Structure 1
C-alpha cells in the first residue's frame, strides 16, 4: 500500500515542479550561493492580518518542553481539551484560534516547513512529534482566511519553521528528569554538507504520568496517565543552482499512552516525507510535495464494569499533496503570487465492539473514505507609499467519495452495509486588506476574508464513545465556510515598547459541532451536525516591553462566541460553543542578566468553558504559573530548571455529568543542555 502511495506522490511531483528549473534559468548569473533552508520571504501585506511571531529563544524556554506550551503563549490558541500531549487522547488534539470552538478537529491549519501536519483521518495535530528544539521560528496568523495557505485555515494558520545548522550548531542536546522520575532526552547533529547542511534529530519522552482522575473518583482500575513517545527527523538542504535550493525532510514518530483506566491503551504513529524546491531569483518559486502515513489505535474501558467496551484496533490513513507558488517580476510596487495546492486524505477504520457487562464480542465495524481538494489561488500586494493594499481570490475543487460504514456481528453476519454518495463541487473564497504606515512606529491595518474547511473522514464516518456519551458520525456533513473582518493597530511607542490591538468579527457558517438531538430522552447521545453558524466577536491584545535585562511578553483575548441554530437545533441558539472560553491570557516576565542565562515566569489564564453544547457541564476557569531557568555552567553546557503549575492549580480538562479528568499538577524538572 505504501509503495502505491509513493507512486501516487511521484505522480504529484510533475504537476508541482516542472516550472522550477525553467524559471531558475532566468536568474541572474553570479558567484553567490545562499542556502537558508526556509521558504520565500513574507509578502509586504502580511502585516494586514493579525500576525504574532515567536522566536527561537522563547520556543526553547517553555516550562513543559512541549510545543503546545509554546503556542499557549498566544492568547486564543487552544486545543479541543486543556490536556497536554502526555495525558490526552491524541484524537482530541485538534487546535483552533479565536475561540471558534470545535469537535476535536483542527480549525487552524498547522504547517511544518510548508507541509500540513494534521492527521489525514482525524484532523488532529501530532503535537508530541513536534520537538520545540528543532524549530527556528513560529508565525501565528489569527483569522486571515484560506488564501495562499490552503483550505483548512478556517481560524488561522500556524507556520512552524525548522532551524538550520547555523542556529543549531554542530551538536546539541538535552536531558531532564522531573519530580515523578519522568524523563526527556533529545539530541541533534547538524553538520555542513557541501554548500548546504544536514540535520538529524531524535527525542524520547517517557514517564509513569499523573492521575488524571480526581482522588474521590478513583477506583481499583484507575491508573496514571503513562506515556512513552519518540520521534526522529532528518533534513537535508542543498543548493542545486544559484539562488535555487532543494530541501528534503523525513519524520517518524510513535506515541503510547494510557488514559484513566488499566487497559485503556492508545497509540499513534506516523511517517512523513517531503521535498521542497525554492527559487529566489527574479522569478521566485516555492514548490513542495509530500506524503504522510499515520495510524491510530484506542481501547475504551467501561467506567462501570471496567471491561473492554471498544477496541479501535487499526486506523491507517494516508495524506498526499503539494503546493506550487510562483512570484513573477511584475515591478517594484507589486508582489504578485499565484499557484495551486493539492491534498488527498484517505483512511479506514477497523474496530471491535464488546458488551461491557459480559466482555463478549458484539460487532466488527469498518468505515472510511477519501477526501481531495485542489486549490488555485492568485494574490497581489500593491505598495503605494505609506499604504499597502492586498487582495486575492481562491477556487477550490473538492471531492468527498468512497465513503462507507459496515458492521458485522459476532456470528459473521453483516448487519449494516452503507455506502455513501460521492459529491464534488467548486467553491470560491477571497481575502483583502490594507496597511497604513501612519507615522514612524504607528501602523493601522484592516482586512476582510473568507475561508473553507472540509469535514474530516472522522467526522463523516466514525462514531465514538467517551463513556457515558456516544457520538454518532454524519456522512451528510457539509463544508464549513468562514467569513470575517478585522481592524487593528500596531504601535511601537518607544524602542522598548510595542503594542498591538485587534478587533474582529468572524462567522463560521455550517459549523460542525457535536449536537444532542434529544436532550430529554437521550441526553448522552450526540451527533456531529452542521449548525447554522458559530459567530465570534472579540478583541486581541499583545504587548512586548524591554528594559535592559528585563522583558515582558503578554497576550490577551476576549471572545464573545455564540452558536446560531434553528429547527431541531434551535435550543442551541445563543449558547457558547463547547470548549470555548470568553477570556484567555498569557504573560511572561524574563530576566537575562548574562549571555545564555535566563530566568522566566509565565502566568496563564483560561476562562470558564463548557464540555457540552447544552452548557450543563462546566470546566471552571484556571490560572497557572510556570517557571523556567537556564544557567550556563561551562563552555556550551547549561543547567535547566522548569516548574509546571507552580501553585498546583486544579485544571479540569473533561467534565461529563460530574465524571472528570484533570490536567498537569505541580511538576518540577531539572536537567542539562548542551549547545543551546
Structure 2
C-alpha cells in the first residue's frame, strides 16, 4: 500500500512540476550558412508536434516551456536540433538564429570548387568525391588507378604508376592531355603536391589509410588555385584523429605485388595525433609487347615507402596542426641501366579559426626537400658480341645521368566572411617558391652541365558569392606574378664549375585569371548552371632545361618556353533525388601556347622531339556523371566523357588529335554490401582509340577493362578481402615509343584488414 501511495504521490508531484515550468515565447530567425532567409521551415517539438513555420524573412514565433527542445526542418537542408536552458524566468522572451546546412552535407558538399561548402545543386562547378570506403573497396593498389574509376581521368599514358616512368605520370582531365607535367593541380589540405621539378605526381606518396576523402574538380580553377589548375584540381583530405585506434591493412598478389599499411590514432582532450605508413611495390613485368621484346628488356617495377605524422590541438574555434611526411621510392624502367630514385620530405604547419559572425580563417605554411636521380640509355637493334644472333633490341648503351636536388617553400591564407543575407566574401593570398639544381652528365663526352633556377609565384585572389531564392552567383579573380630568375648554366671543368658562354634567359609574367559561375535551382530537384574562366600553367624547370627520354623517344628541353593560357566555359544540368544525383555538362577549353612535344626527326634513333609552344589546342565535348543508390544495399556510379580534343592552330599538326586523349571514355562501378554476406564491387572502364604522338602516326587501340573486389567481415575487427585486376586478361596498349608497351595482365591479390579501437565505417 505504501508503495502504491508513493507512486501516486510521485506522479502528482511530477505533473505539478511540469505545470510549473516557465513558459516562454521564442522568436527564431532561420537562415542558411550564407545568411539567406529560409522560408517554409517547420519547427517541431520532440514528439513531432508542429510549433511554427518560418515566413518569407525566415522568422518563426512560438510558445514553449523550459527546457525548450525543438527541431527545425526545411526541404533541401539537414535538420537542426536546439535546446533552451531551463533557468529562464517565467513568461520570458527568447530570440535566436538557427543556421541550416545543405541536406546530406557530409556526402554532397564540396570544399574544392570555391573554397566554401556548397550543396550539389548549388555549385556551378562539376565535382566528384571518393570516400574512404570507395577507395578501399577498389581492386587496384595505387591512387592513380583508383581515380580512374571516374570518367575522364587519365595519366599522360595508360600505364599504372606501379610501372610507369615518372616523366609520364602527369594527370589529364577534360581531354586536355599532358606531357610529363600535369595540366591538373593536385593538393593535400591546400598544399600543392605536383613535383617542383617536372610537375608530375608521386602517386605512391599518400599513405592509403590516412586519407578520408579525395575530391575532384573538373574545369579551369586558376582563379583560386593558380598555376596548373587548367583541367581541374584533385584534393586529398587527411583524416583527423578522432579517437584511440589502430588499423593495419596487408595484401599480397601476383607479380609479387604487395601493399602494407598502418594507421595509429590517439586523442586526449584537445590534443590529437596520428601516424600512417605504407609499403607498396611489385616485381612488375616486361612492358614491351612479346612480339617486340629483346634481350635488353627487363621488368619495370617500383618499391616505395611512405610515412606521415600529424599532431593537432583543437579547442573551441581554433585548430592548430603540424604535419610531416617522407617518401622514398626505387624504380626500374624496363632495361638493366634505366632506373630512378626519389627521396622526398614534406612538412606543413597550419591553423583553422572560426571567427565571429561565421567568418573563417585558414592559414598554411609548407615546404619540401627532394632529391631525384635518373639514368638514361639508348637501345640498339644491331647484334652485339654478347648476342651475335639477336635481331631486335639487342644492346643497351648508357647515355646520361640526372641528379636533381630541389627545395620548395610556400604559404597561403584565406578568409571567408558572410556580409549579409546570402552574400559571402573570400579573400586570400599565397606564395610558392622553388629552387632547383639540375645536374646532367652526358656519358659519351663526359661533360657535366648544371642549371640553377629559381621560380617564385606570389598571388592575390578574391571571390564574391551571392545565394538567394534558388540563385547562386560566384565571381572570382586572381593575379599571379610568376618569375623564373637567377638562372645560371655551369659547365664542369678541371678547375671546377665555369659559366656557360650562353646563359638561359630569365623571364617574368603577370597573369590575370577571372571566373564567373551561375547556378539556378528549379524546384526542389533540378538545377542549371553555367561558368566561364581563364587559367594558366607556368613551364616547369624540367620542360625548360631537362631533356627526357621514354622508350626510344628523346624530348629536348626549351629554355624559351612561355606559360600556357587557357580560356573555357561549360554549361550543365543536374538533378538530385533520394535515389542519387545525375549531372551533365557541355564544355569547351582552348589552350593558347600549349607546351607540346613536337616531333623533329621521326627517323633518328632515338626519335627526336622538341618542346615548343604550339599555337592552340582545344577540347570540347560532353560529360555525364551519375551517383545512384537504387537499392539500400546497392550503389552504382560512373559516367561518360566525349572530348573532341585537337590542335586548332600552329605551324604543324593542325587538325590532329591531342596525344593520348581518346574521344570516348566511360566508367561503370557497382558496389553491393550486405552485413551478413560482405561487400562486392566491380569497376569497369571503356576507352576509345588514341594516338601516342603529335603526328598521329602511332595509334593505340581502344580497350575494355574490368576489376573486382570482394570482402567479408569476421566480427567487429577483422576483414578479409580479395581483388582481381583486368579480369578478362585483355592486351591493353599503353604506348608506342615506337615499340608497343602493354598494361598489366590479369593479376589477383588477397589480404586482411584489422581495426582496433573504433567502430567499422
Q: Is the 8 A contact 1:507 1:533 kept in 2?
A: yes
**1:618 pairs with one of 684, 695, 699:** 699
Could you say if the C-alpha distance between residues 223 and 437 of structure 1 is closer, same or farther in structure 2, counting changes exceeding 3 Å?
A: same
Is residue 77 of structure 1 aligned with residue 158 of structure 2? no
Residue 61 of structure 1 corresponds to 137
**In the aligned structure 1, how far is the partner of 2:536 from the partner of 2:353?**
29
CA deviations 1:392-429 (Å, max 9, x no partner) are 11111111112344455899997954322322232211
**How much does 1:151 deviate?**
2.3
Mapped to 2, the partners of 1:473 and 1:301 lie a distance apart of 17
What is the deviation of 1:524? 2.2
State yes or no: 1:341 paired with 2:430. Answer: yes
- Distance verdict in 2 for CA 1:155–1:422, change over 3 Å: same
Q: Cα–Cα, structure 1 residues 249 and 411, in superposed 2: closer, same or farther, change >3 Å?
A: closer
- Name the SS for the 1:616 alignment partner: coil
Matched residue of 2:707: which SS? strand
Q: Once structures 1 and 2 are overlaid, which stretch shifts more, 133-142 or 665-674?
A: 133-142
Residues 170-569 of structure 1: matches in 2 within 5 Å? 170-239=245-314, 242-282=316-356, 283-304=359-380, 306-355=395-444, 361-407=445-491, 417-492=501-576, 494-517=577-600, 524-546=607-629, 547-566=631-650, 569=651
> In the alignment, does 2:229 pair up with 1:148?
no
Distance 1:237 1:414 in 2: 48
Moved more, 128-137 or 98-107: 128-137
The correspondence for 1:627, drawn from 690, 696, 708, is 708
- Verify the 8 A CA contact 1:404 1:418 in the aligned structure 2: no
Q: Is the contact between residue 207 and residue 308 of structure 2 (CA under 8 Å) also seen in structure 1? A: no
SS of the aligned residue for 2:256 comes to coil
Decide whether the 8 Å contact of 2:127 with 2:215 is kept in 1: yes
1:109 paired with 2:185, answer: yes
Number of residue pairs the alignment of both structures matches? 628
Give the corresponding residue for 2:99: none
Distance 2:500 2:743 in 1: 39
* Contact preservation (8 Å) 1:189, 1:200: yes
Q: 1:609 aligns with which of 665, 681, 690?
A: 690
Which runs of 5 or more residues in structure 2 are unaligned? 1-105, 381-393
Taking the aligned partners of 2:501 and 2:136, their CA distance within structure 1 comes to 50
Offset of 1:116 from its aligned partner?
A: 0.3
The equivalent of 1:24 in structure 2 is none
Please say if 1:47 is aligned against 2:120: no
Moved over 6 A (4+): 409-415, 520-523
1-structure distance, mates of 2:508, 2:151: 36
Deviations 1:413-449 (A, max 9, x none): 9795432232223221100011111111111111111
8 Å contact kept, 1:406–1:417: no
SS in 2 for 1:133: helix
- Residues 243-267 of structure 1 show CA distances to partners (whole Å, capped at 9, x for unaligned) of 1111211110111111111132211
**Partner deviation per Cα, 1:491-547 (whole Å, 9 max, x = no partner):** 12x411321101001111111100124568899221111111111101110112211
Contact 1:465 1:471 in 2 (8 A): yes
Cα 1:418/1:75, change in 2 over 3 Å: farther
Q: Counterparts of 1:410 and 1:582 in 2: how far apart (Å)?
A: 54
Distance 1:620 1:403, change over 3 A: farther
Contact 1:145 1:430 in 2 (8 A): no
Given the two structures, how large is their TM-score scaled by the length of structure 2? 0.79
Q: Per-residue CA shift, 1:89-141, capped at 9, x if unaligned?
A: 12221112111022110111101111000111111111011233221111111
Alpha-carbon distance between aligned partners in 2 of 1:579 and 1:250, rounded to the nearest angstrom: 35
Is the radius of gyration larger for structure 1 or structure 2?
2
TM alignment of 1:90-129, pairs within 5 A: 90-129=166-205
Question: Does the CA-based 8 Å contact 2:378-2:606 persist in structure 1?
Answer: no
For 1:673, the equivalent position in structure 2 comes to 753
Is 2:296–2:396's contact at 8 Å kept on the other side of the alignment? no
How far apart, CA to CA, are the structure 1 residues paired with 2:703 and 2:609? 27
- Alignment CA distance shift 1:420-1:180 (3 Å): closer
C-alpha distance in 1, partners of 2:346/2:130?
25
1:345 touches 1:371 (CA, 8 Å); kept in 2?
yes
**Which deviations, in whole Å up to 9, do the C-alpha atoms of 1:543-599 show, x marking residues without a partner?**
122112122111211100111233xx2x21111111111111111111101179210
CA distance in 1, matches of 2:269, 2:168: 43
Following the alignment from structure 1 to structure 2, what is the Cα–Cα distance between the partners of residues 46 and 665? 43
Pairwise CA distance, 1:660: 2.0
Q: How has the CA–CA distance of structure 1 residues 397 and 412 changed in structure 2, closer, same or farther, with 3 Å as cutoff?
A: closer
Question: Which residue number corresponds to residue 735 of structure 2?
Answer: 654
Say what the alpha-carbon RMSD is for the aligned residues: 2.3
CA distance in 2: counterparts of 1:455 and 1:288, whole angstroms = 25
The change in CA–CA distance for 1:520 and 1:651 in structure 2 (over 3 A counts) is: closer
C-alpha distance after superposition, 1:5-58 (max 9, x if no partner): xxxxxxxxxxxxxxxxxxxxxxxxxxxxxxx9x997525797111111222211
Any conservation in 2 of the 1:406–1:418 contact (CA below 8 Å)?
Answer: no
Match of 1:32 in 2: none
**1:598 — aligned with what?**
679
Unpaired runs of 5+ in structure 1?
1-35, 356-360
CA distance in 2: counterparts of 1:634 and 1:427, whole angstroms: 57
- Structure with the larger RCO, 1 or 2 (CA within 8 Å, 6+ apart): 1
Which one of the candidate residues 649, 652, 657 is aligned to 1:576? 657
Query: Under a length normalisation based on structure 1, what TM-score does the superposition of the two structures give?
Result: 0.89
Conservation of the 8 A alpha-carbon contact between 2:405 and 2:436: yes
Shift of 1:83: 1.4
Question: Is 1:308–1:354's contact at 8 Å kept on the other side of the alignment?
Answer: no
Aligned counterparts of 1:247 and 1:137: Cα–Cα separation in 2 = 19
Alpha carbons of structure 1 residues 461 and 61: separation in structure 2 relative to 1, 3 Å: same
Q: Is the deviation greater in 646-655 or in 447-456? A: 646-655
Which deviates more from structure 2 when the two are superposed, residues 50-59 or residues 445-454?
50-59
